[in-house]
Amino acid sequence: MQNNHAHIFVATAPKGVTGLLADELRALGAGHIREVTAGVLFSGALEAGYRACLWSRTASRVLLQLGRFAAPDADALHAGAQTINWDDHLTAQGTLAVDVNVRSSRLKHSQFAAQRVKDAIVDQFRGRHGLRPSVDLERPDLRINVFIDRDVASVAIDLSGESLHRRGYREDTVVAPLKQNLAAAILLRAGWPEIAHGGGGFVDPMCGSGTLLVEAAWIAGDRAPALLRQVFGFDRWLGHVPRLWQRLREEAQGRAADGERRIPSMRGFDADPRSVRAARENVAAAGVAGHVRIDRLDVADVPGPDAPTGLLAVNPPYGERLGASDELEALYARLGATLRARYQGWEAAVFTGNPPLGRLIGLKARRVHTFYNGAIECRLLRFAVAPEHFEASREERAQAASERPLGEGAQMFANRLRKNMQALKPWAEREGIACYRIYDADMPEYAAAIDLYRSGEPYLVVQEYVPPKTVAEDRARQRLRDMLNAIPPTLGVSREQVFLKRRERQRGAAQYERQAQTGAFHEVREGPCRLLVNFSDYLDTGLFLDHRLTRSMVGELARGRDMLNLFCYTATASVHAALAGARSTTSVDMSATYLDWARRNFTLNGIDPRVHVLVQADCLWWLAQQAGEPRAPRYGVIFLDPPTFSNSKRMQSTFDVQRDHGVLVRQAASLLAEGGVLVFSTNRQRFRLDLDGLAGLGIEDVSDRTIPRDFARNAKIHRCWLIRAPARPPGAAPARPGLHPAPWHAS
């Protein structure tokens, strides 16, 4: 096997950590980074894989992909595995083990699939050499990893061996210790590298076996996390290059020696004597005992820090080590009291699997991140410890709430809101939906749409509909106050997590104009996509929730095809298409602001800008130019979701979707490749498709299939059609595919 050409690697990570892992790999020089199921796909020479094994703090495993093929059944899996030349990786006298994971495939049993892959390998060796390798499940010469997703198998070898979270310093442990790569992810997300670089200190007031202390010291000291490990999965792999690995280790040893002086003085505390003993042993094994002092103290007695700034990071119990809820509540309250009394000016990061306990700390979290500790969904709460972020105690909040009883109308509104949530929340959790509509003028007198966005903590966007002129202005204001008073206690959010917008008929680019200047973006999930939303700066958040199913459909249609996204806004449909396997995407919009937002969405998902292109142009002008150009690219999927009306000064003419959609649809359909499909959608109320003007095109109304459950109460929220161009006459010249770059693709 050649080791200086580009290989494809997959680094796996705990759920919720893949974004950090992608950033790490990017910093290590890996190429073509893309987040996939439970990990990150990247490319590079063999050195890239070695560096990931040595330097990634968040990865669980690093896999080198050998092949990818269709595997709808066991015979196809066996045949596909035999297409790989196993002589490049293993001797006939060697040992192997096969691990298989299956998802959404006709092959259901991973153990049976592993047996078929093993059979394919040994059959190949027996046929070539008359000998066959044997199986060793404990420490094989080659550990083979197979992932079968939707009847497609990816075969890889495991370069890491045992999980990379095993650093080699844990001499002693306690109940339910934090895995080392998850601890590192917590510190990276909490901003510890920047704090350490600025000379800040570090404290863990409930340190357990000292994992956060060791990981923090190694990050500050630029020590490679795998430097203590003696065994890797590539040690007896035939493609291993020992000289290259030794050079990388020597480089890492030099960096660790240089970084030793940059490790700050660090403190750890725990009330449990066994934890203190374990932490001291682990800190010594990690080689950082000279920088870390560990003492036995209850969190209430932890002294103030030596440094004026720093990070206090803690993984307090949330149900495993302490049984009674009263004990846990008292513990979190003591932690909060220590923070507020002694750590003003510091940052704090509290990792908990019981988020309601975090409210007892008495600080307003400025950021919340979701991670998984095994199967437990956890929250990382980040605080800036300063008086302006101190919150009233639970007793004080309860007293204040009791002094503001809801009126009869507000109580009826609250009851409806509660009923809606009881119906929608289980559905959303079951389907993995993080953003959905929970109320849409269900009670006409309380005329608003309320959308929930879960970005760690829940956020609510309340869009007030302009009341009719028959409703007195003071009455409308009172109803709005009723809603805003009822929402926080009913849905369990703070007022700071509720954002109000006024929804009225927009003209021109008004709906895209900036409403505020906060620049506060929040990351949310939609299927496989990570997307940025903004609750305050614009009328819309950057994600049209009623198009959730439409975006998913576009993604599925775009797999293996070139996709064009017109009036792309923040290009969320293009993100879906790219992650679903589109060959390329072209996203066109007039707004530089929204294209920059789209670019950030692409970066967040590791999407290659060389094949997924953003174009700033007036879509009407751009489409007219392309439709009149015989050599213009053709696309397998086109998503066309134009505004209802626009008279923006930057456009060369006004646009009305009812009046102008016929020409627009025909121009777009002219850019379809053979067998391609145009997805046309509009939110125009009482819209009527011009069937006469579009005669000759294949038209299928799929509106019912694209209305999500949370919008079912308003099934006319949008209309959607699949439109196909007629087949080309025999002998017609084939269309040029929509590949890049071309002269008219100017980002």
- Closest C-alpha to 347, from 222, 211, 209, 187: 187
Q: What is the mean pLDDT of residues 626-651?
A: 84
163: in domain? no
Residue 348 forms beta bridges with which residues?
312, 383
174: in domain? no
Do residues 646 and 655 touch, judged by C-beta distance below 8 A? yes
Based on the fold, state whether residues 193 and 104 are members of the same structural domain.
Answer: no
Q: What is the mean pLDDT of residues 37-47?
A: 92
Based on the fold, state whether residues 565 and 598 are members of the same structural domain.
Answer: yes
Other CB atoms within a 10 A radius of the CB of residue 724 amount to: 15
High-pLDDT (> 70) share of the chain, %: 90
Q: What is the mean pLDDT of residues 392-405?
A: 50
One-character DSSP codes across 239-281: T--HHHHHHHHHHHHHHHHHHGGGPPPEEEEES-HHHHHHHHH
Other CB atoms within a 10 A radius of the CB of residue 685 amount to: 10
Higher-confidence position of 37 and 427: 427
Give the C-alpha separation, 286 to 169, whole Å. Answer: 5
pLDDT of 409 higher than 90: no
pLDDT band at 356 (very low <50, low <70, confident <90, very high): confident
pLDDT band at 374 (very low <50, low <70, confident <90, very high): confident
Give the C-alpha separation, 246 to 232, whole Å. Answer: 13
pLDDT at position 470, please?
79
Based on the fold, state whether residues 584 and 715 are members of the same structural domain.
Answer: yes
pLDDT at position 176, please?
60
Last residue of a domain, one of 504, 520, 555: 504
- β-pairing, 7-12 with 292-296? unpaired
Q: Angle between the 273-285 and 211-220 helix axes, to the nearest 10 degrees?
A: 30
pLDDT, mean over the chain: 89
Give the C-alpha separation, 286 to 97, whole Å. Answer: 31
Residue that is written with structure tokens 């020597």 in the block: 250
Give the C-alpha separation, 210 to 106, whole Å. Answer: 45
pLDDT at position 651, please?
47
pLDDT at position 212, please?
97
Give the C-alpha separation, 587 to 631, whole Å. Answer: 19
Q: What is the mean pLDDT of residues 309-334?
A: 76
Last residue of a domain, one of 456, 488, 504: 504
Last residue of a domain, one of 369, 395, 421: 395
Based on the fold, state whether residues 93 and 211 are members of the same structural domain.
Answer: no
53: in domain? yes
pLDDT at position 3, please?
57
Based on the fold, state whether residues 307 and 451 are members of the same structural domain.
Answer: no
**CA–CA distance from 258 to each of 250, 251, 255 (Å)?**
12, 11, 5
pLDDT band at 167 (very low <50, low <70, confident <90, very high): very high
Q: Checking phi first, is residue 498 left (phi over 0); if not, alpha (psi -120 to 50) or beta?
A: beta
Residue that is written with structure tokens 């095994």 in the block: 374
Give the C-alpha separation, 537 to 570, whole Å. Answer: 14
pLDDT band at 502 (very low <50, low <70, confident <90, very high): confident
Other CB atoms within a 10 A radius of the CB of residue 271 amount to: 15
pLDDT at position 289, please?
95
Query: What is the longest distance spanned by two Cα atoms in the chain?
Result: 92
What range defines the domain where residue 122 resides? 7-158
250: in domain? no
Please report, as a single letter, which amino acid is at residue 365: A
Name the strand (E) or helix (H) holding 35.
Answer: strand 31-36
pLDDT in tens, 431-468: 999 999 999 999 989 999 999 999 878 999 999 988 87
658: in domain? yes
pLDDT of 383 higher than 90: yes
pLDDT at position 519, please?
66
Other CB atoms within a 10 A radius of the CB of residue 37 amount to: 14
Based on the fold, state whether residues 190 and 288 are members of the same structural domain.
Answer: yes
pLDDT of 626 higher than 70: yes
The CATH number of residue 338's host domain is: 3.40.50.150
pLDDT of 506 higher than 60: no
Please report, as a single letter, which amino acid is at residue 606: G
pLDDT at position 393, please?
53
One-character DSSP codes across 517-529: -----EEEEETTE
pLDDT at position 322, please?
34
In the three-class reduction of DSSP (H, G, I as helix; E, B as strand; rest coil), residue 306 is classed as coil
Based on the fold, state whether residues 628 and 683 are members of the same structural domain.
Answer: yes
Question: Among 308-322, 505-519, 596-610, which is the least confidently predicted range?
Answer: 505-519
Domains identified in the chain, total number: 4
Based on the fold, state whether residues 336 and 285 are members of the same structural domain.
Answer: yes
518: in domain? no
pLDDT of 477 higher than 90: no
526: in domain? no
Please report, as a single letter, which amino acid is at residue 185: A
The CATH number of residue 414's host domain is: 3.30.750.80
pLDDT of 43 higher than 70: yes
Q: What is the mean pLDDT of residues 415-420?
A: 95
pLDDT in tens, 185-234: 999 999 999 999 999 999 999 999 999 999 999 999 999 999 999 999 99
Based on the fold, state whether residues 630 and 684 are members of the same structural domain.
Answer: yes
What does the block give as tokens for 554?
């576009």
pLDDT in tens, 255-293: 999 999 999 999 999 999 999 999 999 999 999 999 999
What does the block give as tokens for 523?
């990351």
- Burial category of 286 from C-beta neighbours within 10 Å (exposed 0-12, middle 13-18, buried 19 and up): buried
pLDDT at position 4, please?
61
pLDDT of 589 higher than 90: yes
In the three-class reduction of DSSP (H, G, I as helix; E, B as strand; rest coil), residue 133 is classed as coil
pLDDT band at 655 (very low <50, low <70, confident <90, very high): confident
254: in domain? no
pLDDT band at 55 (very low <50, low <70, confident <90, very high): very high
Based on the fold, state whether residues 472 and 450 are members of the same structural domain.
Answer: yes
What does the block give as tokens for 595?
């294209």
Based on the fold, state whether residues 549 and 570 are members of the same structural domain.
Answer: yes
The CATH number of residue 67's host domain is: 3.30.2130.30
Give the C-alpha separation, 741 to 634, whole Å. Answer: 13
pLDDT of 473 higher than 90: no
Based on the fold, state whether residues 359 and 483 are members of the same structural domain.
Answer: no
